[in-house]
Chains A and B, each alone.
Chain A
């Protein structure tokens, strides 16, 4: 009886929602509240739904009336009238269906569009720390899959719920009104239909999931064979891949065969039930009619209603799954929307105006762990004091995990330190408007992260109002003119996934130009470790030199040329400053840096 149980569960859940006994009540009410701007259309949608359902119920009844009041009574005028009514109802049905289908589509899509934007805006208000804690796949899925699941609930769920219930109730009422006894006899087929549907639904849910999994496996395997085609060819392993594909293909066939068995037993069985019901109506209703208890038209109407009677039951039984999935998605979306943005500007935060670019770290302790009392091991920075005068290039040197990138992130105020202060031009960053600070900040990440779009859009990312000459100048300054000119559509060339793939070196240059155009007072640069060829290497070196000119820069340095040129080198070790000074000073001091340099010089001379 799972079929009926599901339906009853659904109504029970809805009742809890209405009574507000469920945490979900708040969420659903909120979701319904999202419909408010589109009240008019929602009203139209329900009008359409009600009209279409009602109009859909009329034709079998009218056909029955045509036989009884028109044909059997020999009344041509009545027949004409009924046929006119029949046509009117059919046209009304079509018009109402149009209205309903369009409005449901419109409202559903629109509300989810709004919701998508909301999730996006909310995400963007979150701090960087939030993004490090959550997996990107999950966040993306909130804006895509979960919204789609909700879409299913809002559109097909609401429509099925409303129209199937209405149809079912309508058919039952009409049948009972036409003839109580015949109606009750017809309802006898109900339990049989329910049992057949239960068995089918239970078994097929698993079977269909299996087919989706198998086909996903095939797609993934194919994708991999295509991206790894070079390896496959060079090792000559084609036959093996064909064998593996055969196996996957075979599994796919096996799980699909199961659904063939299921469909082959369920659908013909439903057809049989309908025929049994028809025979029953004819037999029982027929003898009633011969006895004069009912009219023939009623029998014809009953036969006509059988189809409208079977469908809603089958549809309603599927609804619980849609409801569950939609609600799960709503929970997840709410979980995100309920997470309040951290690191919002304090109300008294000020705009420091144009910065000189003086940076100071004052007894800074920082840990990525949550809470106020991180364990002793988890400190990423341990009491760092440092002063960087305006215009100086600071090179950070140290092992992975020594605290270099943490240092840089605190200056950009991606995080706040647990203890101590980070000051820019003497202002504690916690009292500065974040946007005011970041507008004067340039960042060049190690992998040279670029967005899909044209080269121009990427370079103008930080300052979209920049003029043509400024963009050209930035490209020229970092030394990217030559490679940009060689691109198929020059500066308008689309890059990224759907465009031209740039090499690591080229990405670097574009990221340089992007940072340069933003005219930052403070530049944070994570130098690339990857090998590039000699020509690009020298272009990058020169571009970097120009980029660093005239501004304060914090460079997580990997190249000797950069380190040598820095105004100050800070060697970090275990979250502390091990030593600092210029290249010459540190060589003379004979500390860890000089040992390192010595070891390197030796190995490269060999």
Chain B
């Protein structure tokens, strides 16, 4: 009930339209109920041979129908507008709330789950709020009005005729409640089947190489059978419910024919009233079914509402304090004081702290390389600087100010990341580079691209800087994506630049060229570099070695080679031994062609 009240809260801004639409719906229903009564009068007139009465009655039916047309058109327009407005508001509220939530929330959520909230659940709610409520009142009113007229004509016959009504409503609502989830499950299983087919097509080389066609067919057949079973279940539900819902009103009609007919013969009921009864029952079958459907809708909407409110009620944990000042001017000095970080949402990492009691000072303008095995805490450490997470203990300071005390937007505009997966949005290359500053001019964009060694390949794309890239655009290679991401970070002109394995997919020669651009770009900023390649690490003034969430050592390359066994191991075996012979050859070939 609480959820229901909160859901109807979304209707509050449209109260007036809603009541208006209801008033129109009720008036239209009045006309719908009036017509069978008029038919009954007409039949009486026919029976008594009263020809002159026929025309006025026919005209009255026509007039009622025209009036109903007008009322219904207005009702549909107003209700449609309200429904769409509610849908708009719901989606807007949900999306804006998602944008307020901190990164940690998304770590613990499956994208599919959130997507289903935004599509399936939102759809169920808007349908209920937009149409369901009106359906319920409208159909309820039709039934009440028709029943009232029938009771006035003949209370006992009315009672008998309406006996099946509750069963119809109940059956229809039950059908709606069970069939929807069953159909959604069919869709879900079709999605699984698609995934299976996809995997088989993309992995066909492996399948063929291991001569495992039969096994793959077996897997596919299993997915196909799962779709089959669920489809049959869904068909069985439909086969069971829809004839039942059709049969129940017929019972009422049969009772009217039997009992009402006898009354007409006995002279207790006029033929016209009898016909009106009959017609009422014929036209009531629809509203009774719809009332049931709408009630099923209401139940699903409440379940969906609960799931939606779960997200909406989740308060953002990282937000600017009210009236927080902007990050004060500075050169980008970073300090971590006794910082520990424990991810709450990640099951796998629940036991270990990602960072444990880290102290680190990096003077403004310095370049620091973070080196260590994967999972050692390098990425977590840099995430804290932009306050993507809050530490569980300790303080992170930028230019001497606790990041928790400043305005979040002002902080993040001074920190730019290039991550190893280099996510690009579906937009033009230029828009992607100008992501942090949409007002940037084309010259600025091109300058950033040149520094990132991206200008050359961008010019060769089908539409140059206007080429659409990203998930629904042209697919760039990993190395190309990284270079666009580097350009994006450079254009942001941040105080603090973070390169998280930013050149991992770039070949050795291009990396050398990017390094030159980066050296220039790094001037006047504080830079953090996370890298597995010695060549990239060499950009740093200083190297910080991290293992298991702790800082093991720090110093220059030479110092560490001398004094830190762990670093020496990494440098000798991990960083140096990937030789990209084929890429160097490629480069040579290109040079030879020029």
Give me 17 A-to-B residue pairs in the complex whose CB atoms sit less than 8 angstroms apart, sorted by A's number: A93-B250, A105-B232, A105-B236, A113-B225, A148-B190, A231-B419, A239-B99, A263-B80, A279-B58, A282-B42, A282-B57, A286-B45, A434-B211, A451-B199, A537-B578, A563-B581, A600-B579
- The distance from the CB of A97 to the nearest CB of chain B, in whole angstroms, is 4
A404 and B235 alpha carbons, distance in the complex (Å): 54
Stretch at the interface among A184-192, A356-364, A472-480, A525-533: A525-533
A93 and B250 alpha carbons, distance in the complex (Å): 10
CB pair A237–B435 under 8 Å, yes or no, is yes
List B contacts of A260 (CB < 8 A).
Answer: 76-77, 80-81, 83-84
A596 and B512 alpha carbons, distance in the complex (Å): 16
**A384-403 at interface with B (beta carbon < 8 Å):** 397-402
A86 and B278 alpha carbons, distance in the complex (Å): 13
A227 and B470 alpha carbons, distance in the complex (Å): 11
CB pair B65–A279 under 8 Å, yes or no, is yes
Q: Please pick, from A98, A267, A286, the residue contacting B46 in the complex, using a CB distance under 8 A.
A: A286
CB pair A497–B195 under 8 Å, yes or no, is yes
Residue with the highest number of chain A CB atoms closer than 10 Å, among B46, B262, B575: B46
CB pair B374–A71 under 8 Å, yes or no, is no
**B464-500 at interface with A (beta carbon < 8 Å):** 470-472, 492
Residue-by-residue, is B22-55 near A (CB-CB < 8 Å gives 1, otherwise 0)?
0000000000000100010011011101110011
List A contacts of B202 (CB < 8 A).
Answer: 136, 449
B156 CB within 8 Å of chain A = no
Count of chain B residues near A, Cβ 8 A: 161
A120 and B92 alpha carbons, distance in the complex (Å): 42
A71 and B261 alpha carbons, distance in the complex (Å): 6
CB pair B232–A87 under 8 Å, yes or no, is no
CB pair A117–B221 under 8 Å, yes or no, is yes
**Considering only CB atoms, which chain A residue lies closest to B417 in the complex?**
A234
Stretch at the interface among B110-118, B141-149, B172-180, B390-398: B110-118
**Considering only CB atoms, which chain B residue lies closest to A142 in the complex?**
B197
B584 CB within 8 Å of chain A = yes
Count of chain A residues near B, Cβ 8 A: 159
A339 CB within 8 Å of chain B = no
Q: Please pick, from B84, B96, B417, the residue contacting A257 in the complex, using a CB distance under 8 A.
A: B84
A296 CB within 8 Å of chain B = yes
CB pair A536–B374 under 8 Å, yes or no, is yes
CB pair B62–A279 under 8 Å, yes or no, is yes
Stretch at the interface among A200-208, A244-252, A346-354: A244-252
CB pair A600–B532 under 8 Å, yes or no, is no
A139 CB within 8 Å of chain B = yes
A452 and B223 alpha carbons, distance in the complex (Å): 13
CB pair A404–B582 under 8 Å, yes or no, is yes
A70 and B266 alpha carbons, distance in the complex (Å): 12
A560 and B575 alpha carbons, distance in the complex (Å): 12
List B contacts of A249 (CB < 8 A).
Answer: 88, 91-92, 95
Q: Please pick, from B46, B388, B534, the residue contacting A299 in the complex, using a CB distance under 8 A.
A: B46
A87 and B254 contact, Cβ closer than 8 Å, known pairs A222-B95, A282-B61, A462-B212: yes
B513 CB within 8 Å of chain A = no
- The distance from the CB of B398 to the nearest CB of chain A, in whole angstroms, is 14
**Considering only CB atoms, which chain B residue lies closest to A505 in the complex?**
B374
**A326-359 at interface with B (beta carbon < 8 Å):** none
Stretch at the interface among B2-10, B67-75, B330-338, B353-361: B67-75
Add 20 more A-B contacts to A261-B77, A443-B209 (CB < 8 A). Answer: A76-B265, A86-B250, A116-B224, A123-B201, A223-B111, A226-B106, A226-B115, A227-B471, A240-B438, A242-B95, A245-B95, A278-B39, A279-B59, A296-B271, A299-B46, A307-B282, A399-B583, A531-B533, A561-B577, A604-B576
A529 and B430 alpha carbons, distance in the complex (Å): 29
A268 and B65 alpha carbons, distance in the complex (Å): 9
List A contacts of B254 (CB < 8 A).
Answer: 83, 86-87, 90
- The distance from the CB of B385 to the nearest CB of chain A, in whole angstroms, is 10
Stretch at the interface among A1-9, A59-67, A547-555: A59-67
CB pair A113–B582 under 8 Å, yes or no, is no
Do most interface residues of chain A lie in helix, strand or loop, or is the interface mixed? helix
A158 CB within 8 Å of chain B = no
List B contacts of A604 (CB < 8 A).
Answer: 534-535, 576, 579
A401 and B51 alpha carbons, distance in the complex (Å): 94
List A contacts of B538 (CB < 8 A).
Answer: 606
Q: Please pick, from A256, A404, A412, A537, the residue contacting B209 in the complex, using a CB distance under 8 A.
A: A412
Which 4 A-B pairs give the minimum distances between C-beta atoms?
Answer: A105-B235, A534-B574, A260-B80, A275-B65
A369 CB within 8 Å of chain B = no
List A contacts of B492 (CB < 8 A).
Answer: 235
CB pair A124–B43 under 8 Å, yes or no, is no
A581 and B565 alpha carbons, distance in the complex (Å): 37
A66 and B261 contact, Cβ closer than 8 Å, known pairs A121-B217, A227-B423, A271-B72: yes
A227 and B422 alpha carbons, distance in the complex (Å): 11
B153 CB within 8 Å of chain A = no
A268 and B68 contact, Cβ closer than 8 Å, known pairs A90-B247, A275-B62, A300-B43: yes
List A contacts of B106 (CB < 8 A).
Answer: 226, 229
A264 and B24 alpha carbons, distance in the complex (Å): 13
- The distance from the CB of B532 to the nearest CB of chain A, in whole angstroms, is 4
A93 and B224 alpha carbons, distance in the complex (Å): 33
B13 CB within 8 Å of chain A = no
CB pair B95–A300 under 8 Å, yes or no, is no
**Considering only CB atoms, which chain A residue lies closest to B389 in the complex?**
A233
List A contacts of B534 (CB < 8 A).
Answer: 604
List A contacts of B239 (CB < 8 A).
Answer: 97-99, 101-102, 105
CB pair B194–A236 under 8 Å, yes or no, is no
**B390-426 at interface with A (beta carbon < 8 Å):** 408-409, 411-413, 415-417, 419, 423, 425-426
CB pair B62–A276 under 8 Å, yes or no, is yes
B258 CB within 8 Å of chain A = yes
A71 and B577 contact, Cβ closer than 8 Å, known pairs A283-B55, A449-B202: no
- The distance from the CB of A96 to the nearest CB of chain B, in whole angstroms, is 8
List B contacts of A282 (CB < 8 A).
Answer: 39, 42, 46, 54, 57-58, 61
B15 CB within 8 Å of chain A = no
A23 CB within 8 Å of chain B = no
Residue-by-residue, is B491-524 near A (CB-CB < 8 Å gives 1, otherwise 0)?
0100000000100110010001000000000000
A376 CB within 8 Å of chain B = no
List B contacts of A286 (CB < 8 A).
Answer: 42, 45-46, 51, 54, 58
Residue-by-residue, is B197-228 near A (CB-CB < 8 Å gives 1, otherwise 0)?
11111111111111111011100110011011
**Considering only CB atoms, which chain A residue lies closest to B498 in the complex?**
A234
CB pair A399–B589 under 8 Å, yes or no, is yes
A35 CB within 8 Å of chain B = no
List B contacts of A224 (CB < 8 A).
Answer: 425-426, 470-472
A202 and B209 alpha carbons, distance in the complex (Å): 52
A461 and B212 contact, Cβ closer than 8 Å, known pairs A101-B235, A223-B111: yes
B291 CB within 8 Å of chain A = no
List B contacts of A97 (CB < 8 A).
Answer: 239, 242-243, 246
**Considering only CB atoms, which chain A residue lies closest to B193 in the complex?**
A144
A518 and B215 alpha carbons, distance in the complex (Å): 15
A236 and B416 alpha carbons, distance in the complex (Å): 10
Q: Please pick, from A67, A140, A235, A592, the residue contacting B194 in the complex, using a CB distance under 8 A.
A: A140
Q: Please pick, from A109, A250, A439, the residue contacting B88 in the complex, using a CB distance under 8 A.
A: A250
CB pair B39–A113 under 8 Å, yes or no, is no
A63 and B253 contact, Cβ closer than 8 Å, known pairs A234-B412, A603-B535: yes
CB pair B84–A256 under 8 Å, yes or no, is yes
A420 CB within 8 Å of chain B = no
B570 CB within 8 Å of chain A = yes
List B contacts of A442 (CB < 8 A).
Answer: 209-210
A385 and B541 alpha carbons, distance in the complex (Å): 51
B251 CB within 8 Å of chain A = yes
**Considering only CB atoms, which chain A residue lies closest to B76 in the complex?**
A264
A315 CB within 8 Å of chain B = no
A124 and B218 alpha carbons, distance in the complex (Å): 12
B157 CB within 8 Å of chain A = no
A109 and B232 contact, Cβ closer than 8 Å, known pairs A439-B211, A558-B582, A559-B578: yes
A102 and B61 contact, Cβ closer than 8 Å, known pairs A79-B265, A86-B250, A86-B257: no
